[in-house]
Amino acid sequence: MRKLLRVLMVEDSEDDAILLLRELRRGGYDPIFKRVDTPESMTAELDRAAWDIIISDYVMPQFNGLEALRLMQGKGLDLPFIVISGKAGENTLVGAMKAGVHDYILKNNLARLIPAVERELHEAVVRRELQQEIEEQRQALLEAERQRVMMESVEAACHHFAQPLTTMLSNLQLLSKGMGFEESDKSLMFEQCLKAAEVMKTILNKFRQVREYRTRPYLADTKILDIGLDSIYGTPGAPEDTNKSQWRPDISERRPRQRKMSNC
């Protein structure tokens, strides 16, 4: 049974494309293909469909193999990329492989095409599986770090909840006993209860904002957020206008400079 293969051919010669398709069919593949020969047409096809492999001529009137490779890489794709050329010197081959071409096949040696296609398709699967494993490990580390920050924040919240909660409960207990308080005292006690409730509401709202927090170098793409207690809960005894609960700014760029200065 033939194997379906979605091939994007970067080739200006229809005759050469026919030869490549014939070789693929001879190797047991059933190619679904599109031939392009300009950056614009290649971009359109990469946006339009998903491809298994790209086979590109090295030199064309309006395009070339390395430009096609960079175009693919610029879109963040990791597809097998094989260059087919009529002739090539050693410097050309070395330069192409360094740029990221997976294999370079001469047109007079198309017998190498099928083994190269099979090998690069397999290697692409291995790369995807490895990348998925790395990403899963990264997400697990990130989640563990987030949970650590959450647990520390819960402990801090318990401490900061204590004072407003004590104030609220004390006032409500006194009021529930029906003691003969003046109206002004009752108003003050109710006001204290409302302020305590607002403080607790602010703390709870800040917990909803906890997302990601990086402290380790292997999470380099995650923003560092300063979520110190001062920024979440306010500094005890500080003026009211400086005690507003808010996240501090992103300090991803500032932390490395601080570490550098501390090491001097």
Model pLDDT for residues 155-177, shown as the tens digit of each residue: 777 777 777 888 888 888 887 77
At 3, phi and psi to the nearest 5? -95, 130
Q: Over the chain, what is the mean pLDDT?
A: 78
Q: How far apart are CA 66 and CA 10, in angstroms?
A: 11
Of 50 and 169, the structure prediction assigns the larger pLDDT to: 50
Q: Are 19 and 45 in contact (CB under 8 A)?
A: no
pLDDT confidence of residue 179: 67
Q: Which residues pair with 83 in a beta bridge?
A: 56, 104
Which own/partner contact pairs does 57-60 have at CB distance under 8 Å and 24+ positions apart? 57/10, 57/11, 57/12, 57/13, 57/16, 57/83, 57/84, 57/85, 58/83, 58/84, 58/85, 58/88, 58/92, 58/96, 58/104, 59/85, 60/10, 60/11, 60/12
Q: What is the mean pLDDT of residues 212-222?
A: 45
Q: Are 78 and 51 in contact (CB under 8 A)?
A: no
Q: What is the mean pLDDT of residues 51-56?
A: 97
Model pLDDT for residues 120-164, shown as the tens digit of each residue: 999 999 999 999 999 999 888 878 877 777 677 677 777 777 778
Q: Are 58 and 92 in contact (CB under 8 A)?
A: yes
Helices (H), 38-178: 39-48, 65-74, 90-99, 113-176
Q: How far apart are CA 160 and CA 153, in angstroms?
A: 10
Say yes or no to pLDDT of 253 above 60. Answer: no
pLDDT confidence of residue 263: 52
Structure tokens at 227: 């979520």
pLDDT confidence of residue 102: 94
pLDDT confidence of residue 207: 64
pLDDT confidence of residue 241: 42
Q: How far apart are CA 158 and CA 169, in angstroms?
A: 15
Say yes or no to pLDDT of 11 above 90. Answer: yes
Tell me the percentage of the chain whose pLDDT exceeds 90.
Answer: 42
Q: Are 52 and 5 in contact (CB under 8 A)?
A: yes
Q: What is the mean pLDDT of residues 188-215?
A: 71
Of 97 and 259, the structure prediction assigns the larger pLDDT to: 97
Q: What is the mean pLDDT of residues 38-60?
A: 95
pLDDT confidence of residue 56: 95
Say yes or no to pLDDT of 87 above 60. Answer: yes
Q: How far apart are CA 95 and CA 93, in angstroms?
A: 5
Tell me the percentage of the chain whose pLDDT exceeds 70.
Answer: 75
Q: What is the mean pLDDT of residues 244-249?
A: 36
pLDDT confidence of residue 208: 62
Q: Under CATH, to which class is 3-101 assigned?
A: alpha beta
